[in-house]
Structure 1
Amino acid sequence: MATTQFYCRQPKSIELINGQPQFDSKFETTTEKPDCKASQYSPSGKIFAFSEPQSVVLVDVNTGAIVKKIEVQDVFDLLFSPLGSYLCTWSKPIKNEFGNWNDNVKIWRIPKEDPTDVKLITEYSSKNQTGWSPQFTGEETLMTKVLNQSEIGFYKLGADTIKLDKPVDTLSVKEIGKIQSFNVSPGKNPSVAIFIPEQKGQPASIRVYSVTNFKKPVSQKQFFKGERCQFTWNALGTSLLALVSTDVDSSNKSYYGETTLYLLGIAGSFDQRITLNKEGPIHDLAWSPTGREFGVVYGYMPAKTTFFDSRGDSIFSFPEDSRNTILFSPHAKYVLVAGFGNLQGTVDIYDRQDKFAKITSFQASNTSVCKWSPDGRYILTATTSPRLRVDNGVKIWHASGKLCYVKEHTELVSVNWLPQDLALFPGIKKTEIACEPHQSAVEYLAKRNKSSGNASGVAKPSGAYRPPHARNSAAPAQSTTLWQKEKLMNDASQPQPMTSSQLASQPRQKVIPGAKPVLPPGLPIESKAALKNRKKRLAKKEKESTASPEVESAPEVPQLDTLVIGGVSSLEDKKIRSLLKKLRAIEQLKAKQIDGEHLEDTQVLKIETEPKVRAELTSLGWSE
C-alpha cells in the first residue's frame, strides 16, 4: 500500500512528512530569514515546489532530493497545471527604467521524462496577485488567459513557446458586458463558464460555452442581485454550481449581503435555482466525488445541512446545528460536517453508504485548514497563521475520531496532502480497525489531560457556566444569579416594616394636638396613603399565613453590610447596583458567545471590560 505524505511550511522552513504509520520527515530545509512565500505539490504527485528569494526549488517527493532550481526572483505564488506538466509563477511586479511593468508571470514546461529539463515557454505582466493565474483544460491541450475585460484568449499547448499575441480562439462578450470571473471545467470535453455582473439595469448572467464553439452557450442563467460569482464544477465537468453573492442585503437582515445558489447542467441545457428552506447565508458547499450529488450548509446559526441530487432535488437533511463546513472523502463513503472559524470546532463524521449513519464526533478547536487524506482514512486539521497566531500546528485524525498524530509549530503558514490516486490504496472495510496513535499523539493527550485534571482521558461534563475567577475554587458554583443578588441587596437596604403584633407591643405614645406624631424607631416617615397601603398589605399577609400555617418558613436572607441613612440607599449601594447590572449584561453576552452566536465589535469590547467591573465591585466591598 502506498504511503501518504503532507508538507508543512513555516516562514523559515519547509518539511515533507510521511503519513501513517511512520510520520517521519522525508525532506526538510531551513533558512535564517522568513524567505519562503509559496509552496505546492504537483497534481501528478511527483514534484514539490517552493520558493526562495532567488529561485523556485523542485523536490522529488519519493526520494526527498532536490531535482532543479529554477532561477526566478521574489516568487510570491505558484500554480501547477492539472497534470503537472506546467508550472506558473507570480513575482512581485517591478517597473523598469522606462516606467513599464516587468513580465512578472512566467510559465515553465516540466517534462515528465526529465524534470530537470525545465524551459520557459512564455511570460507576461500582471500587477494584481488576485486572478493572475492562467487556466488549463483537464488534458492540458489548451491554456486560457484574460485578454481584457470582455475577452478570454485560448492558446494551444505542446510547443516550446506560446505566442500570446496569437491565440487559437477568443471568447468575446463585448456586446453583452464585462467578464467578472471565469472557470474552465475538468474532464475530457472541457467547457468554460463566465459570469457577467448586472450593470446599467441589465440582469447578471452565467454562460457556459463549449471550448469548440463560442457562438452559442450550451447553458445560461439570467438574474438580478448578482455582483460576484464562485464556480464549483463536479469531477466529471458535467454540472456546475454557481454561488452568487451581493455586498448589500436588500432586506437588511444581514451585514454580509445575500447569497444565492444556481445549478447548471451542461448536458441538456439544464439550469435551476436551488431552493434552500432556511433564511441566511450559504456557508459552504461541496460536490461528491461521484459527481451525482452535492451538499450545502446554509442558514443563520444553527445552520442546516442538506444534500441534493444532480437535478437539484433534496434527498437528505441533517438536524440543525452550529456547522459551516462540509467535505466528502475521496471515495465518497464518508461525509465530514464541522463548525470551524468562530464556532467550537465540533467535527461530525457520517457514513454516506449507510444512509448517513453517524460514525463519530470529535473536537478540533481553532481549526483553519481541514483536508481528507488521499486514501479517505484520515483527516488533517491545522491551525495556521495569520488566521490564528497561537496554538499553530497539525493534527491527524482517523475517520473513527481517534487522534493519531500531533506536530506543534510556533508559526505554521501552509499545510496540505500530497495528491495521490485513490487506486493506490485498498478499499475500506467495515471491520477496519483504527490505527495505533503515534507517540506525539499519546504525549499530547497525556499533557492535555494532566492540565485539565482528567487522568482517565474521558471528557467531563461541562456543567453550569462559572466565571473565570471562580473556576479554580473548591466551593461549588452558587445558583443565585446576579439579578437575585441585586434584589437581595436592595431588599436588605430597606428597613423591614413591623407586623401588627410588633406594633401592639410598643408602648402607647402620648399624642399632643398640633405636634408631629412620633413614630416607632426604625419606621420611616411616610404619607397617609402609604401608611394605608402598608396596613392593607400586612393584613393580607397575616390572612395568608393564618390560612396556611404548615407552609415552610422562607430561607434566611443573607444580610449585606450596607449603609442606610433615613431609609435611602447610599451612593456606594447605587454604584454597586449599576455595576451588577453591567456584569449581568456581560455574562449574557458571554453565554451567547459560547453558543456560537455572532457578536458585534462593541459587544466583544463590553465583554473585555469584565475585569475592570469586578475590580470596582471589589473596591466597593462587594463579593460573590
Structure 2
Amino acid sequence: MEDLQIAYRSVKEIGLLTGPPQVQDVAGFDKPQGMLRAMKYSPDGRLFAWASNDAVHILDVAKNQMVQVLPRAGVVELDFSPQGTYLLTWERFVKPPEGPLPKNTLIWATATGEQLGAFTRKLQSSWTFQWSYNEQYCAILATNEVHFFDPTRLDRGVHLRLQLEGVSTFAFSPGRSPAVAVFVPARKSQPGHVRLYAVGQFRQPLAQKTFFKADTAQLIWNSLGTNLLVLCSTDMDSTGKSYYGETNLYYLTITGNFDCHVVLDKEGPIHDVAWNPDPDAKEFAVVYGYMPAKAALFDRRANRIHDFGTAPRNFVQFNPQGRLVAIAGFGNLTGQTDIWDLKTRTKLVTLDCSNSTTCAWAPSGRHLMTATLSPRLRVDNGIKVWHHTGSLLFHRPIHELYQTTWRPLPVQRFPDRSALSPPPRGITVESKTPTRPAVAAGAYRPPHARGTPTPASFRRDDENQRANGGATSASPAVTAAPPVYKAGTQARYIPGAAPPPGAGSTPGENAISNRLRTVTRQLKQIETLKQRQNEGATLEPEQIVKVQKEANLRAELQTLKSSKNQA
C-alpha cells in the first residue's frame, strides 16, 4: 500500500484511497458493506479499525491484513491509544430497570484481542479516555476528580487521583514527560482557574492562572507540551453584544515563568486557534473578531508578529511541517480558503471550497483534503484533494458521506523542502458527477415571504450591487457565531440583514417576531431533551435529529434578535 492514504465511511461502505498524486481505490482492500457506525486509524498510522453490526475489525494497514476481529456487537465509537497498543470501544448506554449499570466502554489489547478493562460511560460526548504520549497513563474525568489508570493493570482500578473541586476539563500534554492541565470554571464571586501539574505530583502545580468570565474552556497544548493556550468562553455576554457570550484567550508556560491574556485588536468572538506544530517555530495563529474576521500570527510571548488580513474566515490550520497555513471560512461562510507560506509571509492561493464541512492537511504537508459530510449537509457529499498551489487533484462524489480522514504518518517521513513543490502536471481529476455551483446565502426569508422580491433594506451588499447595476449600497455586517468546538466541524447559521434604523413595522418584521418565538420554543424543547439524555434516557431518532439542530437554531436566534433590535 502507498504511504499516504485516505479512509472514508458512507451510508453503504468503508473505503480506502491511495494518497496523491494519483488518488484511487486501494488495490486488494475488500470494502466493508452494510451498517458501519465508526472507523479510526491509530495515531501512528499502523492500524485501521472499523465497527460493523456484529464485530470490530482491526487491519494492519501496511500489510493489508486483518489483525483482530473482536466479536462485539453494537459498537458506535472507536478510539486508539497513542501507540496503537490499545483500542477503546463504546456502545450506547441503556439503563437497566434494575441491577448494576452496564459496562459500555471496553479497552482491548490490539496485539492479542484480549479485553483488559470495562467501564460505564453514559455520554457519547465524553466517553473516551485521554492518554499520555508514552501510554503510561490513561485518564477520565469524574466528579471533582481526574482518575488516572495504569493501562497494564486496569483490573486494579484507579492508580492516581487528582482531586479538585469543580474540575470540568483536563488535557494531557503531548510531551514525553507527561503533564496535565485542569480547568475549574468561575462560580458566583469565585474566578475560574487553570493549573498545570506533573502527573503523580499533585500537591503543588507547575503553573496556574486565574480569570473571571470563564464558564467553559478549551485547553490547547503546543507540540512539545511546554506551552498552553486556554480559550475561555462565557454563556452570556455582559455587554449584550453577542448571544453566544464572550471569549478570551490566555497563555501559560509549563515552567510558570510567563503567562498573559492574549490581547486582540478587533472586537468580537474568537473563532479558531492553532499552534504551529514545528517545535522550532513557537508561534500560534488566531482568527477573531466580528465578520469579516481578522487572522494574525503571534510569537511565544503572545506578541502579534504578522497580520493575515481581514476576510470572512473562521478556521485556521497549519500543515504538519509548519510551513503552510490554511485560513478558511466554513459553515455559514462561502468556503474560501487562503493558503499562506509562512517562510515568505505571502499568500499562495485562494481555493473555492464551497459547502465544505471538514478540512485537513495531508501528512506530506503539500495536499489539502476538503469534504462535504452528512448530516451537516445532505447534498453534494464527497471528497476533494487539492495541491497547495490550488490545483484540484481529485474529486469523488459519495452519497451520504459521514466521515473521512487521512492516515496519520510521522512528519519525519516528509521533511520540509527549501522550495515549495510546483503544481503537478498530467493529473486527471476524477469527478463522476458535476457539482452544482455554490450559491451565496441571502437574508433569512420567512416561509410566507419566499418567492417574492427581497426588499432593498434586507439585501446583502452583493445583491444590492446587482440590483443597482453595480452601485453598492451599505448594509450592516453579518456577525458570525463562534464555532462549536466538539465535533470538529464549524457551527452553521443563516445570516440575515437588518432593516435600517427608524423603519416602521413591516410584514417582514412581523415575520421575524413570529420566527423568533418559534425558534425560542424549539430551543426550550431541545434543552429538555438534552437534560433527559444527560440523565441516561434514550432518545428517539427524531429527537436526536432535533437536538442536532441546536447550533443552527441558536445562530438563527442571534440573527433574528439583531434584526429585531435594529428595526
Mark yes or no: TM-score above 0.5: yes
Identity between Structure 1 and Structure 2 (%):
36
> Deviation at 1:339?
1.1
Give distance in 2, aligned partners of 1:587 and 1:275.
35
1:73-105 deviations in Å (ceiling 9; x for gaps): 211111111111111111012344634321001
8 Å Cα contact 2:296-2:309 kept in structure 1: no
Aligned counterpart for 1:384 among listed residues 364, 368, 373: 373
Shift of 1:357: 1.1
> Post-superposition shift, 1:431?
6.0
Map Cα deviations across residues 377-428 of structure 1 (whole Å, 9 max, x no partner): 1000000011111000000000001100011011110001000112223543
The answer for the alignment partner of 2:202 in structure 1 is 214
Q: How far 1:606 moved relative to its partner?
A: 5.8
Taking the TM superposition and a 5 Å limit, the aligned residue runs for 1:349-360 are 349-354=339-344, 356-360=345-349
Deviation per residue, 1:570-621 (Å, 9 max, x gap): xxxxxxxxx99963344358559998665868869969x9xxxxxxxxxxxx
Q: Distance in 2 between matches of 1:466 and 1:245?
A: 29
- 1:150-549 correspondence to structure 2 within 5 Å: 150-159=144-153, 161-164=154-157, 167-173=158-164, 177-291=165-279, 292-354=282-344, 356-425=345-414, 427-430=416-419, 432-436=421-425, 438-441=427-430
Aligned mates of 1:218, 1:2 — CA distance in 2: 44
Contact (CA 8 Å) 1:381, 1:394: kept in 2 or not?
yes
Relative contact order (alpha carbons < 8 A, sep ≥ 6): 1 or 2 greater? Answer: 2
Write the deviation string for residues 2-35 of structure 1: whole angstroms up to 9, x where unpaired: 6310101012210011111332212342434xx2
Partners of 1:466 and 1:120 lie apart in 2 by: 53
What is the deviation of 1:435? 2.0
2: CA distance between counterparts of 1:48 and 1:252?
48
Q: Distance in 2 between matches of 1:131 and 1:581?
A: 47
Which one-letter code corresponds to 2:329 in the other structure?
G
Q: Where do 5+ consecutive residues of structure 1 fail to align?
A: 112-116, 453-458, 468-578, 610-624
* SS of residue paired to 1:406: strand
Deviation at 1:437, TM superposition (A): 5.8
CA distance in 2, matches of 1:284, 1:95: 37
Equivalent of residue 122 in structure 1, options 114, 117, 131 = 117
Structure 2 portions without partners, runs of 5+: 444-450, 465-473, 481-492, 499-506, 512-567
Q: Which amino acid aligns with 1:87?
A: L
CA distance in 2, matches of 1:121, 1:82: 17
Q: Distance in 2 between matches of 1:44 and 1:74?
A: 26
* Alpha-carbon distance between aligned partners in 1 of 2:120 and 2:442, rounded to the nearest angstrom: 58
What letter corresponds to residue 169 of structure 1 in structure 2?
L
CA distance in 1, matches of 2:454, 2:421: 55
CA contact (8 A) 1:322 1:596 kept: no
Deviation at 1:207, TM superposition (A): 1.0
State the 1:168 CA deviation. 2.8
Trace 1:84-99 onto structure 2 (pairs within 5 A).
84-96=84-96, 98-99=98-99
Give the 3-state SS of the residue equivalent to 1:436 in structure 2: coil
* Aligned AA (1:256): Y
Distance 1:466 1:244 in 2: 32
Contact 1:90 1:106 survives alignment (8 Å): yes
Aligned-partner SS, 1:171: strand
Residue 584 in structure 1 maps to residue 456 in structure 2: yes
Alpha-carbon distance in 1 for matches of 2:174, 2:104: 27
Q: Distance in 1 between matches of 2:288 and 2:479?
A: 15
Return the letter of the residue paired with 2:162.
L
Equivalent residue letter for 2:144:
S
Q: Give per-residue Cα distances to partners, 1:160-205, cap 9 Å, x unaligned.
A: x4322xx3321112xxx31111111111111111111122421111
RMSD: 3.1
The answer to whether the 8 A contact 1:219-1:270 is kept is no
Secondary structure of residue in 2 paired with 1:141: coil
1:333 to 1:600, Cα distance in 2 relative to 1, 3 A: closer
Task: Check conservation: 1:3, 1:20, Cα contact below 8 A.
Answer: no
Q: How far 1:440 sits from its partner (Å)?
A: 3.3
The 1:594–1:108 alpha-carbon spacing in structure 2 relative to 1, beyond 3 Å, is farther
Q: Is the 8 A contact 2:17 2:23 kept in 1?
A: yes
SS in 1 for 2:455: helix
Residue 133 to residue 593, structure 1, CA distance change in 2 (3 Å) = farther
SS in 2 for 1:130: helix
Task: Name the CA distance, whole Å, in 1 between partners of 2:496 and 2:291.
Answer: 20
Report the counterpart of residue 58 of structure 1 in structure 2.
58
Give the corresponding residue for 1:532: none
| 1:513-554 Cα deviation digits (max 9, x unpaired) | xxxxxxxxxxxxxxxxxxxxxxxxxxxxxxxxxxxxxxxxxx
Task: Report the alpha carbon displacement of residue 269 of structure 1 after superposing the two structures with TM.
Answer: 3.9
Instruction: Call closer, same or farther: CA 1:582–1:329 in 2, change over 3 Å.
Output: closer
Q: Secondary structure of the residue that 2:422 maps to in structure 1?
A: coil
Deviations 1:295-344 (A, max 9, x none): 00000011111111112111111221111111111111111111111111
Q: Higher mean Cα deviation, 64-73 or 311-320? A: 64-73
Structure 1: distance between partners of 2:268 and 2:235: 14
- Letter paired with 2:309: P
Name the residue aligned to 1:145. 140
The one-letter code matched in structure 1 to 2:155 is: I
Corresponding letter in the other structure for 2:140: K
Q: Kindly provide the amino acid, as one letter, of the partner of residue 147 in structure 2.
A: G
Q: Which moved more, 1:417-426 or 1:217-226?
A: 417-426
Distance 1:21 1:216, change over 3 A: same
1 CA distance for matches of 2:454 and 2:132?
60
SS in 2 for 1:162: helix
TM-score of the pair, normalised by structure 2: 0.77
Closer, same or farther: CA 227–378 of 1 in aligned 2, 3 Å: same
DSSP-derived class of the 1:320 partner:
strand
Q: Alignment length, in residue pairs?
A: 469
Find the aligned partners of 2:241 and 2:477 in 1 and give their Cα distance. Answer: 20
* In 2, Cα distance between equivalents of 1:347 and 1:357: 14
Closer/same/farther in 2, CA of residues 602 and 68 from structure 1, 3 Å limit: same
Cα distance in structure 2, aligned partners of 1:51 and 1:317: 44
Alignment partners' CA distance in 1, 2:256 and 2:245? 32
- Largest Rg, 1 or 2: 1
Take 2:119 and 2:452, find their aligned partners in 1: how far apart are those partners? Answer: 65
Distance, in Å, in 1 between the alignment partners of 2:299 and 2:422 is 32
Equivalent residue runs for 1:73-84 within 5 Å: 73-84=73-84
- 1:456 is aligned to none
CA 1:58 to 1:150, structure 2 compared with 1: closer, same or farther past 3 Å? same
Structure 1 stretch displaced more, 308-317 or 275-284: 308-317
For residues 425-474 of structure 1, give each alpha carbon's deviation from its aligned partner in whole angstroms, at most 9, with x where no partner exists: 35435263222364334777xx57xx88xxxxxx9xx9xx999xxxxxxx
Q: TM-score, normalised by structure 1?
A: 0.70
